[in-house]
Copies of this chain bind each other. A is one copy, B any other.
Amino acid sequence: MLLGAIEAGGTKFVCAVGKEDGTIVERTVIPTDLPEVTMKEVIKFFQKHKPSAIGIGTFGPADVDPVSVTFGTITSTPKQGWRNYPLVSELKKRFPVPIGFNTDVNAAALGEARLGAAKGLDSCLYITVGTGIGAGALIGGKLLQGLSHPEMGHILVRRHPNDSYAGKCPYHGDCLEGLAAGPAIEERWGVKGDQLKERAEVWEMEGFYLAQAIAQYILVLSPKKIILGGGVMKQAQLFPIIARNVQEMLNGYVSLPEITEHMEDYLVPPGLGDNAGITGALMLAYQAYTE
């Protein structure tokens, strides 16, 4: 049985076919253009492979509530042409197979829980720090979903005492994403993050903000494993800085050995590397197929 997977992003659509064990048989990358342009290529790819189910991890916001009438739609995105685009129902017209649909970060959390760093656990949090900051979570074996999907990247953080940068979020100014996503790093320090590797103060400040957010996520969700991916997290020096700050901020209040002693096993990079998202989409396809 061949499963289809789409990692739908603002700049590119990664499409793949593969198996329920996570093996990817073939993949292609399609630029995100107007929907009719991009979708024509997406459909062509899957017509060649005839998958038994398709899983989609998408950029947002999106309607991921299976009981909603607009389930499967990308909702209030500023991305031209994609606002209110009914991705799932458009695909269904060509492929009358089960289609799973969730956020890109929820898909990545599922991929990591099935086959990656959180393998075998019924609970994990996947955070991506890149052009934006987003997070998905598996809680009690299910992807986190309530009134809508989470928007964890926009939580408020207290400012670092040495930070005079105003923040870049068009909605909240200096929320987490506004202070700590890639574009904020570049605007604050004048060059891109990957050219700032040797500047210790850059990563101390970045780690301070990410740690604050992670401490809040721990207090609210108590995930069994936290996975940090995305372009900014390629700066591996961030991991020990974040771990130290989380411990200082929680100050022993959450007295679990995972947090007070073994943070290096608790706060980890994706086990699937850059394949977390597309593998998660494959797992969404398998979940849709078996349900």
Chain B residues with CB under 8 A of A148: 222, 254, 256
A83 to B149, CA, bound (A): 38
Q: Nearest CB to that of A225 among chain B residues?
A: B147
Chain B residues with CB under 8 A of A223: 146-147
Chain B residues with CB under 8 A of A259: 147
CB of A147 within 8 A of CB of B219, answer no
Nearest chain B CB to A152 CB, angstrom units: 5
Copies of this chain per assembly? 2
Partner among B142, B155, B224, B251 whose Cβ is within 8 Å of the Cβ of A220: B155
- Please tell me the number of chain A residues within 8 Å of chain B, measured between CB atoms: 42
Known A-B contacts A123-B146, A139-B146; A253 and B222 likewise in contact (beta carbons under 8 Å): no
CB of B215 within 8 A of CB of A217, answer no
CB of A172 within 8 A of CB of B256, answer no
A178 to B157, CA, bound (A): 17
Chain B residues with CB under 8 A of A224: 146-147
Chain B residues with CB under 8 A of A222: 144-151
A251 to B156, CA, bound (A): 12
Is A52 among interface residues, defined by CB-CB distance under 8 A?
no
Known A-B contacts A158-B158, A172-B251; A144 and B221 likewise in contact (beta carbons under 8 Å): yes
A186 to B149, CA, bound (A): 38
A142 to B139, CA, bound (A): 9
Nearest chain B CB to A210 CB, angstrom units: 14
CB of A256 within 8 A of CB of B220, answer no
CB within 8 Å of B: which A187-224 residues? 212, 215-217, 219-224
Is A255 among interface residues, defined by CB-CB distance under 8 A?
yes
A146 to B156, CA, bound (A): 23
A123 to B143, CA, bound (A): 13
Known A-B contacts A217-B220, A222-B146, A223-B146; A253 and B156 likewise in contact (beta carbons under 8 Å): no
Is A249 among interface residues, defined by CB-CB distance under 8 A?
yes
Is A11 among interface residues, defined by CB-CB distance under 8 A?
no
A57 to B231, CA, bound (A): 43
Chain B residues with CB under 8 A of A255: 61, 76
Nearest chain B CB to A79 CB, angstrom units: 15
**A/B interface sample: 11 pairs, CB < 8 A:** A140-B144, A140-B145, A146-B222, A147-B256, A150-B221, A155-B219, A156-B157, A171-B250, A216-B220, A220-B220, A220-B221
